[in-house]
């Protein structure tokens, strides 16, 4: 026993010395929502040791209904955040200098899910309806879309829609409080299906197909930090390791979902839901190597500027994204 203790002590001392000689750079990542397969690439990179191989000690902070990534990074609580571009650009215009450094999600998963028996067959049928919409920055693509359709959102005039501030559940649709609600292809839509509704009973309007999709789940940092070469180097390694995690998750959706479940401290997620979510999320990250496509960026900006009398942003942003990180991380 004494030899075992001595050996263990020597091993511990050796590990401490090695750690001191090779200190890991700390990175704190704030997610946009709770621990789920929507963020599988980061958990895979953590679990599979990709961050450690890159010399990074990464802490992943789950989000939630009361957590705004923009506020977290503004307060110094994170080095990098996962955020949707509409919220990031809106925050930038208001004075928080966020910069997109990578874009793992190529496509948007947002859609409007409606009851087919409500007589809704096309976007032209959305007027005079009650529509469930997420807020806290998630309403911007919807408002821009309605503006482009020429549909007012105050619910007062004939032909306008009544906007129901939707919680992060599907109850307004199931309880017939709304004709349509906001859903993500990888999450809330399946909650409706799991409640016993058949796909044939629903009509979905994908923002991608309506030409008003905006970029989701990009990685953002504060502009001032990009002036620090050490921070830039750290982010280059972080993005490279994260994309390694994302591509592994795409190729191994079931295993990736199980890794996510291991990190879900709430116990709220289920195996079936996470595996299905990962399969759907893989469709959105497919085709992306992490670099922001400038055409996708411009489409997002154009959509947000087309907001009528109350646009999300009032002028084309300058300096809102950089390829400096991905140019180095992916080459």
- Report the CATH number that the domain containing residue 131 is assigned in CATH: 3.40.190.10
- Predicted confidence (pLDDT) at residue 13 exceeds the cutoff of 50: no
pLDDT in tens, 48-60: 999 999 999 999 9
- Taking the C-alpha atoms of residue 129 and residue 297, their distance in angstroms, rounded to an integer, is 31
Question: Which of 180, 206, 232 delimits the end of a domain?
Answer: 206
81 and 62 in a common domain = yes
pLDDT in tens, 232-285: 999 999 999 999 999 999 999 999 999 999 999 999 899 999 999 999 999 999
Span of 97-101, 259-263, 327-331 with lowest mean pLDDT: 327-331
Distance (Å) of CA 154 to CA 196, 207, 258: 32, 21, 44
Give the domain range for residue 304: 24-107+215-329
Question: Which of 183, 206, 229 delimits the end of a domain?
Answer: 206
- Taking the C-alpha atoms of residue 285 and residue 290, their distance in angstroms, rounded to an integer, is 9
- Predicted confidence (pLDDT) at residue 218 exceeds the cutoff of 90: yes
Average pLDDT score over residue span 15-36: 77
Predicted local confidence at residue 331, as pLDDT: 84
Establish if 19 belongs to a structural domain: no
Establish if 101 belongs to a structural domain: yes
Establish if 16 belongs to a structural domain: no
- Predicted confidence (pLDDT) at residue 21 exceeds the cutoff of 80: no
Question: What proportion of the chain, given as a percentage, has pLDDT over 90?
Answer: 77
Question: Which of 206, 240, 266 delimits the end of a domain?
Answer: 206
325 and 228 in a common domain = yes
323 and 223 in a common domain = yes
Predicted local confidence at residue 103, as pLDDT: 98
pLDDT in tens, 175-210: 999 999 999 999 999 999 999 999 999 999 999 999
- Predicted confidence (pLDDT) at residue 320 exceeds the cutoff of 60: yes
Which of residues 96 and 157 earns the better pLDDT score?
96
Question: What proportion of the chain, given as a percentage, has pLDDT over 70?
Answer: 92
pTM: 0.88
Residue whose structure tokens are 């409500």: 118
Q: How many CB atoms neighbour CB 305 within 10 A?
A: 16
């Amino acid at each position: 026993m004494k030899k075992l203790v001595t050996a263990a002590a020597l091993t511990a001392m050796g590990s401490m010395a090695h750690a001191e000689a090779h200190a890991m750079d700390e990175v704190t990542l704030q997610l946009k929502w709770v621990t789920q397969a929507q963020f599988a690439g980061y958990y895979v990179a953590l679990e599979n040791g990709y961050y450690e191989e890159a010399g990074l000690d990464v802490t992943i902070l789950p989000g939630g209904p009361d957590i705004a990534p923009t506020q977290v990074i503004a307060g110094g609580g994170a080095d990098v955040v996962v955020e949707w571009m509409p919220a990031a650009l809106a925050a930038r215009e208001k004075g928080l200098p966020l910069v997109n450094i990578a874009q793992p999600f190529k496509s948007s998963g947002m859609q409007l899910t409606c009851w087919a028996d409500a007589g809704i067959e096309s976007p032209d049928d959305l007027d005079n309806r009650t529509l469930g919409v997420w807020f806290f920055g998630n309403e911007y693509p919807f408002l821009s879309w309605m503006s482009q359709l020429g549909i007012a959102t105050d619910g007062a005039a004939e032909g306008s829609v009544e906007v129901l501030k939707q919680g992060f559940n599907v109850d307004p649709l199931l309880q017939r409080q709304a004709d349509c609600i906001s859903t993500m292809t990888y999450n809330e839509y399946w909650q409706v299906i799991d409640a016993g509704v058949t796909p044939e009973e629903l009509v979905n309007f994908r923002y991608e197909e309506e030409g008003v999709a905006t970029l989701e789940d990009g990685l953002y940092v504060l502009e001032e930090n990009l002036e620090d070469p050490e921070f830039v180097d750290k982010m280059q390694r972080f993005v490279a390791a994260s994309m390694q995690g994302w591509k592994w998750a795409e190729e191994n959706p079931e295993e990736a979902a199980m890794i996510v479940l291991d990190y879900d401290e709430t116990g709220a997620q289920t195996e079936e839901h996470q595996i299905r979510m990962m399969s759907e999320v893989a469709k959105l990250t497919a085709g992306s190597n992490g670099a922001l496509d400038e055409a996708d960026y411009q489409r997002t900006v154009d959509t947000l500027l087309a907001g009528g009398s109350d646009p999300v942003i009032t002028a084309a942003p300058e300096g809102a994204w950089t390829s400096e990180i991905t140019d180095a991380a992916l080459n």
